[in-house]
Amino acid sequence: MRILNASGCLDALAAPEVARQLDAFVTKTVTPLPREGNAPPRIAETAHGMLNAIGLANPGRERFLAEHLPRLRELGLPLWVSVGGFCADDYAETCTHLEGIEAIELNLSCPNVDEAADSAAEIVAACRRTTELPLFAKLSAAHPDVAEVARAVAAAGADGLSLINTLRAVALDRLLRPALARGSGGLSGPALKPVALHAVSVCHEATGLPIVGMGGIETGRDALEFAVCGARDIALGTVLFSDPGAPTRVREELEAAATEAGVVIVDDGKGLAKSPETQRKVPA
């Protein structure tokens, strides 16, 4: 089980000593044109979670490829580039420019932009025609049937799934105003974990694709739960904000948690942890 960062939760150039703890670094989502992102305030703490409405702030494809990607390569880490856009052609065009990276994550589920994207399967299919790199589809658990979306992107050529993105949510401040300037934002942190475990479980069952599980992972025990539900790898997001040493800590804790639970994490490309207790099917 490898440990990645959730896209948008770490700037590897600003904090290389945090990125180097990871098995692979996932970039912030790159869109065709530069985006300044949303006005502040962009973050708010909630019960067992936080909201963000960054709004896909990024330098745009051209500057990312010319300036950021070469500097990221100098870190010597396997790189995943998160690709975003507002129609299938946006995503596909960016994919044609990417090479020499480990994988592409297609951000099909940002809750903080207004523009409607084409369907997840259409975007995956368009990207599949332009690149041989592994394509991981990052899905939202807000869909009534995330397993159905997973099956659709699998049929369209996705090589794996990243589960899950934040969930659209609202928080009010003490004066009962929206805490974020945008109004709504994406909920992340421990509050998300049960939702994410469910999505990982049903999508694993539905597709058998490799899954990067994420959503509220704070400890090795959390990571183990994702493995048991079918995640091959995991990603850390919100926990990085309070503990930049989390990748190293979670890796150590994961080994101890697996030993304590009598679980062997089988690296068979599908990621299901095996033990007498975990053989039972996780309810969908």
Partner 1 sequence: MQSSASPSRHRVAAVERVGPYTLLRLERGDLEPGVPGQFFMLEAPGRLLPRPFSLCLAPPGELAFLVDPVGPGTEALCRLRPADEIGVLGPLGHGYRLDVERPLLVGGGIGIAPLPYLAEQLGGSPPVVLGFRSAEHAEAAALLPGAEIVVDPVLVTEVIGPGFDVLACGPEPMLHAVAALCPTAQLAWEAPMACGYGACYGCVVEIDGALKRLCLEGPVLDGHGRYQVPAVSRRVVSA
One of 23, 93, 205, 243 touching partner 1 (CB under 8 A): 243
Of 2, 23, 46, 65, the one binding partner 1 by CB under 8 A: 46
12-31: contacts with partner 1 (CB under 8 A): 14-15, 17-18, 21, 28
Residue from 78, 142, 184, 241 touching partner 1 (CB under 8 A): that is 241
**Residue 110 catalytic?**
yes
The string of DSSP codes covering the chain is --EEEPTTS--TTT-HHHHTTSSBEEPPPB-SS-B--PPSP-EEEETTEEEE-----B--HHHIIIIIHHHHHTTTS-EEEEE--SSHHHHHHHHHT--SSSEEEEE---TT--SPPPPHHHHHHHHHTT--S-EEEEE-TTSTTHHHHHHHHHHTT--EEEE---EEEE-B-TTSSBSSTTSEEEEESGGGHHHHHHHHHHHHHHH---EEE-SS--SHHHHHHHHHTT-SEEEE-THHHH-TTHHHHHHHHHHHHHHHHT-EE--SSS--EE-TGGGSPPP-
Smallest separation (angstroms) from partner 1 to the CB of 10: 5
Among 24, 26, 42, 82, binds partner 1 (CB under 8 A): 42
Nearest distance in Å: CB 180, partner 1: 9
- The catalytic residue among 9, 95, 110, 127 is 110
**CB of residue 16 vs partner 1: minimum separation in angstroms?**
9
Among positions 145, 148, 173, 267, the unique one binding partner 1 when judged by CB under 8 A: 173
| Interface residues toward partner 1, by CB under 8 A | 8-11, 14-15, 17-18, 21, 28, 36-37, 39-46, 48-52, 54, 57, 171-174, 177, 179, 181, 189-190, 238, 240-245, 248-249
Give the catalytic positions in this structure. 110
